[in-house]
Every structure is written in structure tokens, then in C-alpha cells.
């Protein structure tokens, strides 16, 4: 069955609905404005938004898949995807649709400040010693206890933020969007505001965001989870500080129940060589040089590139599942998922060795 025939069958609509749900979940994780989705003008919290958006997306995905059918027939075997289950087909369609949305956002030069605002807010909410509160007017933060007033924005912005001193930087290696750098900049901004206003107060997170935009060369982008901390690696350096702990949700619990299945779905698209490399590096905790020798590479750089590619594909996959990527990353859930991926690669490697042994006998 080719893509065009499948789109004319009844089988396609339940799969397209799954794909639509994945798109709705993935869009905020990529920092894509909700306005690009059908019914994006409705409030996200309104009861009708989710149902109407998903239903409209099903129709859009059908048209999108029909337009891409000829290209997909040449590059991707539908039967191979169907053999892996409906979720695999839904993942294929949703990931390509999200990529198109990302291209559209970049082409239209959509304001990235919303993604930066969300990142800053999450860092402050997860930082001990920083008080936060949310109101209709937005999110606020403070560094001192007590009954504090809200900042007088007229006085606060009398001097443009570009004329304020920039936030201190520990060194050129520190990412401007790392948790440590964001919190450090927030503390500096709060102290500057306190001195200018004559006392401590609640500051709007959006004002901190505007200040950062004026002083830091930022291009807010979706944060990817690094595997650098999963294995020893003198070549890798320390893992970035990107933990965003949040309270567990029902959706995250559902993700936790499906971790083995998700790991198999992810690794089903990996080659045997890729599985061997991943298991050797993160399961057996071998160095890059040792993995290179075992797989026949001339040096560690080839293995490092291969693993980096796998990490990118893994990060894209995780964007579609609550709890496995920012903005609602659950560190424990992520670690458990990595273990399941390692197990899936190990089983695939074991099956390959058993097959070779049987052929020799």
C-alpha cells in the first residue's frame, strides 16, 4: 500500500488523530507560537481549544500528507512504518509537519521573546532562594522575603535597559541560556532594580526578559537534553545545567508506563551499527576511543559524530512525550527512558550475535 492509497482508507484517520495530538504537544516545546495552529486565536485554556484544534489538525495533516505522498513513496516505505505500529506512522507524519511549522516560523521571523520568557520563568521557578508568583498580569520574582510591593514600571524603565550595565559573565564558555547564567542575570537585574527604586519589590519576569534581550546575543531555541552525563567522556566536557524539575502530571505518568514501548519505537529506526555504538558508549560506558576501535572507526571523531546524531534524533523523539524534554522535563523519567533505550540496543545487539552464531553452526 502506498501513501495515497492509505490516505483514502479508513485506517488513516485514527493515526492522523494521534499525529495531531503529538503536534499540539510538540509545538510549545519547540517555542512555536500557538497562533500557527488551527484555532490558535482561542485561549489555550478554553475547554474547546484542545478538541477543536486536534480535529482541525487532522484535516490539515491529511492535506499535508496527500501533498507529500509522492515524495514519501520515494523516500519512506509506508509498509515498513505500519509494521512498527500506528504510533510509528503517527510519529513520522507529526515530526515532518512540525518541521514544516518550524520552517514557517523562521521564514516569518516570528518574535522569539516568548520562548525566552518561558525559559527564564522556568529557571526562576526551579531555583531555591528565588520567590515567584503568577498573576493575571504575568509572572513576578523577588529575592527577599516579606510583604513586598510590585515594581513601579514607570520609574523602572525611565532609563532604557540598553543603558543599564550588562549582567556579569563568569566566562565565555557559559551559555547565556543555561540555568546558572539565567539565575545569575536575574539576581543582578533584581539588585539593580532595587537600588534604582529605593527598595526591594516584585519584578515582572517580562522586564527581566527585555533586559536580557538588550544585553545578550540570544537566539532562544528549544533546549535539548544532553547525554553527556550518562557516560565518562574526557572529550565531552561536563553536562550542561538544564534541569527543569516540575510536579509530575497524569500525562507524565502515562509516559512512564510506556517507556519500554517508546524505547523500542525509537530504536526501531536505528541501524545495527547505531545500536552497537549507543550501547557500547552508554550501556558499557566505554570511551569514545574504545568504541571507535570496536566498531572499526579510524578515530573517536567518527563515533562522536554518530552519537551526536543519535542524540539529536532522540531529543526530537522526546519532544513529543510529556516529561521527556523541556519545558516539563522530569529528570528521573528521562534517566529511566535512557535506560530503556540502552536495554533495547542491548537486546538488538544480542539478537544480532545469536543470529551470526546460528549461521556459523
Interval 137-149 mean pLDDT: 87
How many residues make up the chain in this entry? Answer: 361
41 phi, psi to nearest 5 deg: -75, -20
Taking residues 105-124, report their average pLDDT.
Answer: 66
How many whole angstroms separate alpha carbon 204 and alpha carbon 140? 4
Per-residue model confidence (pLDDT) at position 322: 74
Please state, rounded to an integer, the average pLDDT across all residues of the chain. 77
CA angle 318, 99, 48 (to 5 degrees): 75
Distances (CA, A) of 267 to 17, 307, 334, 348: 23, 13, 16, 9
Task: Report the C-alpha gap between 330 and 343 in whole angstroms.
Answer: 20
Question: pLDDT: is 334 or 195 the higher one?
Answer: 195
* Higher pLDDT pick, 222 / 318: 318
Q: What is the CA radius of gyration of the chain?
A: 24
**DSSP three-state, residue 272:** helix
Please tell me whether residue 8 adopts helix, strand or coil conformation. coil
Quote the pLDDT of residue 58.
Answer: 87
pLDDT tens per residue across span 263-308: 998 898 899 999 999 999 998 889 999 999 999 998 899 899 899 8
pLDDT for 203 beyond 90: yes
Mean pLDDT, residues 193-213:
92
What is the per-residue pLDDT for 193? 96
Q: Residue 100: which pLDDT band, with cuts at 50, 70 and 90?
A: confident
Q: What is the mean pLDDT of residues 111-134?
A: 78
- Residue from 29, 3, 221 nearest 93 by CA: 3
Nearest residue to 240 (alpha-carbon basis) of 286, 158, 178: 178
Q: Is the pLDDT of residue 46 over 60?
A: no
Q: Which element (helix H / strand E) includes 147?
A: none
Tell me what the mean pLDDT of segment 209-231 comes to.
Answer: 60
pLDDT of res. 251: 66
* Helices 250-257 and 331-360, packing angle to 10 deg: 10
Q: What is the distance between the alpha carbons of residues 222 and 315, in angstroms, rounded to a whole number?
A: 10
Given this model, what pLDDT does residue 136 score? Answer: 55
Nearest to 129 by CA among 141, 138, 117, 147: 141
Distance spanning both ends of the chain, measured CA to CA: 38
Whole-number pLDDT of residue 237: 37
Number of Cβ atoms within 10 Å of the Cβ of 7: 17
| Cell 522575603, located at residue | 145
Give the residue, 322 or 235, on which the prediction is more confident.
322
Rounded to an integer, the average pLDDT of 6-34 is 84
pTM, two decimals, is 0.40
- Range 124-134 burial, b when 16+ CB lie within 10 A, else e: bbebeebeeee
- In this predicted structure, the answer to whether residue 233 has a pLDDT above a threshold of 60 is no
Bigger pLDDT: 335 vs 135: 335
pLDDT given at position 350: 60
Q: Please name the helix (run of DSSP H) or strand (run of DSSP E) that holds residue 140, with its range, or none.
A: strand 138-142
Angstrom distance (rounded) from CA 263 to CA 247: 23
Sign of the dihedral defined by the CA atoms of residues 148, 213, 33, 243, in that order: negative
**In sequence order, what are the beta bridge partners of 204?**
140
- pLDDT per residue over 256-274, tens digit each? 888 999 899 889 889 999 9
DSSP bridge pairs for 141: 132, 203
DSSP string, 42-68: S-TTSHHHHHHHHHHHHHHHHHHHHHH
What is the per-residue pLDDT for 52? 72
**Is the pLDDT higher at 326 or at 37?**
37
Lowest mean pLDDT among 51-55, 67-71, 95-99, 183-187: 51-55
Amino acid at each position: 500500500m502506498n501513501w495515497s492509497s492509505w490516505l483514502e482508507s479508513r485506517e488513516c484517520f485514527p493515526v492522523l488523530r494521534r499525529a495531531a495530538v503529538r503536534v499540539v504537544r510538540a509545538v510549545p516545546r519547540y517555542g512555536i507560537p500557538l497562533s500557527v495552529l488551527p484555532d490558535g486565536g482561542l485561549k489555550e485554556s478554553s475547554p474547546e481549544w484542545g478538541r477543536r484544534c486536534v480535529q482541525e489538525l487532522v484535516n490539515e495533516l491529511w492535506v499535508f500528507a496527500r501533498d507529500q505522498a509522492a515524495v514519501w513513496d520515494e523516500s519512506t516505505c509506508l509498509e515498513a512504518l505500519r509494521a512498527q505500529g500506528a504510533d510509528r506512522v503517527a510519529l513520522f507524519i507529526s515530526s515532518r509537519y512540525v518541521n514544516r511549522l518550524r520552517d514557517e516560523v523562521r521564514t516569518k521571523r516570528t518574535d522569539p521573546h516568548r520562548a525566552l520568557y518561558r525559559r527564564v520563568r522556568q529557571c526562576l521557578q526551579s531555583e531555591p532562594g528565588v520567590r515567584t508568583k503568577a498573576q493575571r498580569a504575568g509572572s513576578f520574582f523577588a529575592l527577599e522575603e516579606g510583604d513586598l510591593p510590585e515594581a513601579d514600571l514607570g520609574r523602572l524603565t525611565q532609563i532604557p535597559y540598553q543603558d543599564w550595565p550588562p549582567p556579569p559573565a563568569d566566562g565565555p564558555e557559559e551559555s547565556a541560556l543555561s540555568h546558572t547564567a539565567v539565575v545569575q542575570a536575574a539576581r543582578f537585574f533584581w539588585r539593580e532594580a532595587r537600588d534604582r527604586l529605593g527598595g526591594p519589590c516584585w519584578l515582572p519576569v517580562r522586564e527581566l526578559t527585555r533586559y536580557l534581550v538588550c544585553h545578550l546575543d540570544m537566539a532562544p531555541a528549544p533546549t535539548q537534553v544532553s547525554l553527556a552525563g550518562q557516560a565518562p567522556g574526557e572529550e565531552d566536557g561536563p553536562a550542561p545545567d538544564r534541569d527543569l524539575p516540575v510536579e509530575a502530571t497524569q500525562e507524565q505518568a502515562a509516559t512512564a508506563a510506556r517507556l519500554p514501548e517508546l524505547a523500542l519505537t525509537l530504536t526501531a529506526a536505528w541501524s545495527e551499527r547505531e545500536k552497537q555504538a549507543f550501547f557500547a558508549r552508554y550501556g558499557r560506558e566505554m570511551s569514545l576511543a574504545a568504541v571507535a576501535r570496536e566498531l572499526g572507526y579510524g578515530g573517536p571523531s567518527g563515533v562522536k559524530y554518530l552519537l551526536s546524531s543519535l542524540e539529536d534524533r532522540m531529543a526530537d523523539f522526546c519532544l513529543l512525550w510529556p516529561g521527556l524534554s523541556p519545558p516539563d522535563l522530569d529528570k528521573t523519567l528521562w534517566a529511566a527512558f535512557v535506560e530503556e533505550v540502552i536495554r533495547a540496543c542491548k537486546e538488538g545487539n544480542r539478537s544480532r550475535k545469536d543470529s551470526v552464531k546460528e549461521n556459523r553452526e
